[in-house]
Amino acid sequence: MAGPLTKEEFYTQHSAFFQQRGFDVQFAGCMFYLFSLGDTDRLEYETKDDFVIYRTNNGQKITEYYQVKHTKDDKKSMTDADGDFWKSIDNWLTPYELSSAEEKKTYFTHAKFVILTNKKPNNYLDTLAGQLREGTIELNAIKEELHKRLDANPDIGYKSTAEKLLKLNDVSMRQFLMKMEITYFEDFIKDMYEHFLDTHFHAVRSDHIVRQLAGDLWTYKQSCSDKFSFSGREFRQKYKSILEEVSRRDDDLTMEGYEEDIPIPDSFADLMLVKQLAMIDAIDTPPTMEDYNLTEYLTKFYQFRNAIQSFEKTQLITPARVTSINKEALDKYNILFRTHQDDIIQKDRHGATLEEEEQKKAGRMTFNAVMDTTLTVSRLNIDRGFSNGWFLSLSNEDKPRVAWHYALYKQYIKNK
């Protein structure tokens, strides 16, 4: 089973869909936050700003204002004189000027001001605001810098906005700069998809789910005029049937999609599974990556290790399923071990001498038979690659539950 698409693959496969729909980056930014909205948080689109989120934090109501500033020039930065930056500042300061004295008391304290942009931040006021938040600069230094730039260039394009900022009293100016930030998006639609992956632990079918959600939300947005508004609970309830696809997965445990080359750690010789294979002469001694057989087994093992992490994140592998698969694997292993090592088991029972070469040969026969086995578990489709990885992992434990050489079988398994 292949994992979810990367954000680049997602956009490559679905870019035509977004273009045909007229889907815009502002709405992608809105969706980014909608995916992880708290149950009681509320997002409103194109009301007081490009979109606004109302949150409650420790009993205090916070209003987050979001301005989306996008450019088709992927090399452009949000510089000191960027008109989009200063326009956003002006859009946030003007309502303050028009507010009542009572409203001004909480306008900055109960707010957050965010510019979402695909322009790389390279802006002195943004940098200074960050230093103010970190406590490495005083407010007076920021005011001096603003005055210096205005004095040096009286005709500077953002003069009126900078003057609005300087007209604020120290308390209000500090509060505003502490709450203002630029958030960089490499690509709004790609990053929206990646955020969905992170939120839902890289669920399979994520690309199809996001595409359907984007299409349905965009259609709804166009039909509801200026009333596009959701709480987190309302969003998840309205699109429950789509979002439930996150937990609907084919019960396939396969190495398909995980066959790429995997780097092998230099410490591979310390692995229990390598020591076991060396004991039965299934690989060269000392172990070397020039040995084709060893390379094959280690590649299978590390591919499986990568895959199992993905399966756990998407909940294809749960503790209950681990127990079920282990039972199936150990039952099959025990049968195959007794089949290929019966002569050695009988000799040991009667106190006869066990020849080392005979034990190695029986161990190789057991190993080959197990590696030729495919696990079958109720309601699960498991392929040979996954089965190999599971058995190799059981043989790699500090106290292995799968052993090939009879001496290790007696040490770790026989009487357990």
SS (H, E, C) the chain: CCCCCCHHHHHHHHHHHHHHHCCCHHHHHHHHHHCCCCCCCEEEECCCCCEEEEEEECCEEEEEEEEEECCCCCCCEECCCCHHHHHHHHHHHHHHHHCCHHHHHHHCCCEEEEEEECCEECCHHHHHHHHHHHCCCCHHHHHHHHHHHHHHCCCCCCHHHHHHHHHCCHHHHHHHHHHEEEEECCCHHHHHHHHHHHHCCCCCCHHHHHHHHHHHHHHHHHHCCCCCEEEHHHHHHHCHHHHHHHHCCCCEECCCCCCCCCCCCHHHHHCHHHHHHHHCCCCCCCCCCCCHHHHHHHHHHHHHHHHHHHHHHCCCCCHHHHHHHHHHHHHHHHHHHHHHCHHHHHHHHCCCCCCHHHHHHHHHHHHHHHHCCCCCECCEEECHHHHHHHHHHHHCCCCCCCCCCHHHHHHHCCCC
Query: Which amino acid would we find at residue 249?
Result: R
Question: Quick one: pLDDT at residue 260?
Answer: 66
The residue assigned the tokens 């900055």 is 108
The token pair that represents 104 in the structure block: 């001004």
* Distance from C-alpha of 135 to C-alpha of 133, rounded to nearest angstrom: 5
Low-confidence ranges of the chain (pLDDT < 50): 1
Distance of CA 217 to the CA centre of its chain: 23
Residues 190 and 261 in one domain: no
Question: Quick one: pLDDT at residue 59?
Answer: 82
The token pair that represents 405 in the structure block: 């050489």
Residues 151 and 280 in one domain: no
Residues 68 and 191 in one domain: yes
Residues 125 and 162 in one domain: yes
The total domain count for the chain is 2
**Per the domain annotation, does 1 fall within a domain?**
no
Residues 209 and 274 in one domain: no
Beta bridge partners of 113: 65, 180
Question: Quick one: pLDDT at residue 1?
Answer: 43
Sign of CA dihedral 331, 332, 337, 343: positive
Containing structural domain, residue 188: 7-246
* Distance from C-alpha of 89 to C-alpha of 69, rounded to nearest angstrom: 12
**Per the domain annotation, does 2 fall within a domain?**
no
Residues 154 and 53 in one domain: yes
Domain boundary, last residue among 246, 281, 316: 246
The token pair that represents 11 in the structure block: 């956009």
Domain boundary, last residue among 211, 246, 281: 246
CB atoms within 10 A of CB 183: 12
CB atoms within 10 A of CB 45: 21
Question: Quick one: pLDDT at residue 415?
Answer: 73
Residues 362 and 258 in one domain: yes
198-256 confidence digits (pLDDT tens): 888 777 778 889 999 999 999 999 898 778 999 999 999 999 988 887 765 556 788 87
Residues 30 and 44 in one domain: yes
**Per the domain annotation, does 167 fall within a domain?**
yes
pTM tops 0.85, yes or no: no
**In the β-sheet with 42-45, what is the strand arrangement from edge to edge?**
180-184, 111-117, 60-69, 51-57, 42-45, 229-231
Residues 91 and 221 in one domain: yes
Length of the chain: 416
* Distance from C-alpha of 188 to C-alpha of 32, rounded to nearest angstrom: 8
Question: Quick one: pLDDT at residue 409?
Answer: 95
Please, what is the angle between helix 25-34 and helix 206-223, to 10°? 110
Question: Quick one: pLDDT at residue 221?
Answer: 92
Domain boundary, last residue among 216, 246, 276: 246
**Per the domain annotation, does 171 fall within a domain?**
yes
Let me know: does 30 contact 195? Beta carbons within 8 Å: no
